[in-house]
Amino acid sequence: MNREKPLVILTRRLPEGIETRMHELFNLERNEHDEPMSHDALAGAMQRARVLVPTITDRIDAELIAKAGPQLKLIANFGNGTDNIDVGAAMKRGITVTNTPGVLTEDMADFTMALIVAVARRFVEGVRVVPEGNWHGWSPGWMLGHRIHGKRLGIIGMGRIGLAVARRARAFGLQVHYHNRRPAPKRIEEELQATYWDSLDRMLARMDIVTVHCPHTPATFHLLSGRRLKLLKPEAILVNTARGEIVDSDALSEMLETSQLAGAALDVYEHEPAVSSRLVKLAEKGKVALMPHMGSSTVESRNEMGEKVIINIKTFIDGHTPPDRVLMLPGG
């Protein structure tokens, strides 16, 4: 039987090979400008599409979902998280939501370790010296960073990415500590020689390096508040590659400005793509490394994300439950 292809609307351009495959399978409509759609453009797309493929830059809130056309049955997010989508509102409208979990794990873990080393060893400052003509030869007391071998690493959120970071950290000779909603299985703790802290406050006070890998939820908004950031040692380093909303950026800026914290690396921001002028000034002084949300930016991850989106759509259209269907947590 020759069924009509469903209208699938992409809010951003995806890898060429993924779009080609989508053209073969679906009635595909793309955002040719590859810029975030306006609220009105998103509303229009949701009134026409059978399947919407948004990205993490698209805020699919309850208002948009309420205005969606009755034919919209699937929101196939091109992203690991779904904090950009009101999943509860979608479920009430009978709209299925999917994501692309597990694809970014290794790339994010690589990137996190790179940032830890970069901040501790002052790579960001160092790469500027030669091009700017400020290198006049080796000196025993110049550009001194800190060794990471033997230091305590505190991981906030021991999910897929946190676990992958822990494995890399052990290879670098770091001591692994972590805070999570529940302890990891005993075999994991033994493999990583990891120490579980049920109190985030107590863990923060003991760590040399802290890296954030928990999801952004109402419960984790400003999880690292001004009060908690002040628990860190003055020589500690903070790395956030998870979500900007988890860290109070104003409090972090104040601590870096007053040398209450040795350094930080950020790949995500509370109001991105806007970045506070205070953080930018700190970056110019070498106090913080600011990255443009590129932690998952590899050819491999983007293609694998696209493949997951295709599988989720195809499975749904064929009348089955998509493998990456998102369900509300109890109480969510």
Q: What is the pLDDT of residue 137?
A: 93
Q: Answer whether residue 94 shows pLDDT above 50.
A: yes
7-103+299-317 and 105-290: identical CATH topology? yes
Cβ atoms 53, 9 nearer than 8 A: yes
Residue ranges per domain, the chain? 7-103+299-317, 105-290
pLDDT at residue 33, as a whole number: 85
Which residues on adjacent β-strands are paired with residue 239? Answer: 211, 265
> What rounded mean pLDDT belongs to the chain?
95
The pLDDT value given to residue 1 = 41
* pLDDT computed for residue 331 by the predictor: 43
Instruction: Collect contacts of 188-193 with beta carbons under 8 A, ≥24 apart.
Output: 188/163, 192/166, 192/167
**What is residue 180's DSSP assignment?**
-
pLDDT at 250 over 80: yes
Strand, coil or helix: what is 174? coil
State the catalytic residues: 243, 272, 293
Q: Rounded to an integer, what distance in angstroms lies between the CA atom of residue 212 and that of residue 223?
A: 10
- Name the nearest CA neighbour of 55 among 302, 325, 312, 311: 302
Distances (CA, A) of 193 to 169, 185, 203, 239: 11, 12, 16, 22
Q: For 31-142, list the strands marked E by DSSP.
A: 51-53, 74-76, 96-98
Grade residue 329 by pLDDT with cuts at 50, 70 and 90. low
Q: What value does the mean pLDDT take over residues 229-257?
A: 97
Backbone angles phi, psi at 11, to 5 degrees: -85, -20
Instruction: Give the pLDDT band (50/70/90) at residue 330.
Output: very low
- What does the alpha-carbon distance between residue 62 and residue 85 come to, in Å, rounded to a whole number? 8
pTM: 0.89
For residue 260, is it left (φ>0), alpha (ψ between -120 and 50) or beta? alpha
Overall average pLDDT of the 62-87 stretch: 95
CATH of region 105-290:
3.40.50.720
Residue 276: DSSP 8-state: -
Distance (Å, whole) CA 231 – CA 250: 16
| CATH of the domain spanning 7-103+299-317, picked from 3.30.390.30, 3.90.245.10, 3.90.1640.10, 3.40.50.720 | 3.40.50.720
In this prediction, residue 327 has a pLDDT band, given cuts at 50, 70 and 90, of confident
Amino acid 39: pLDDT: 93
How far is 51 from 313, CA to CA, in rounded Å? 8
Q: Is the dihedral of CA 120, 230, 244, 193 positive or negative?
A: positive
Q: Is the pLDDT of residue 2 over 60?
A: no
Q: Specify burial of residue 121 (Cβ count, 10 A radius: 0-12, 13-18, 19+).
A: middle
pLDDT digits (tens, 9 = 90+) for 151-204: 999 999 999 999 999 999 999 999 999 999 999 999 999 999 999 999 999 999
Per-residue pLDDT tens for 107-138? Answer: 999 999 999 999 999 999 999 999 999 999 99
Mean pLDDT of 84-104: 95
Residues 54/59/64/70 CA torsion (nearest 10 deg): 20
Tokens of 150: 């033997």
pLDDT at site 80: 86
Closest CA to 3 of 309, 311, 312, 319: 319
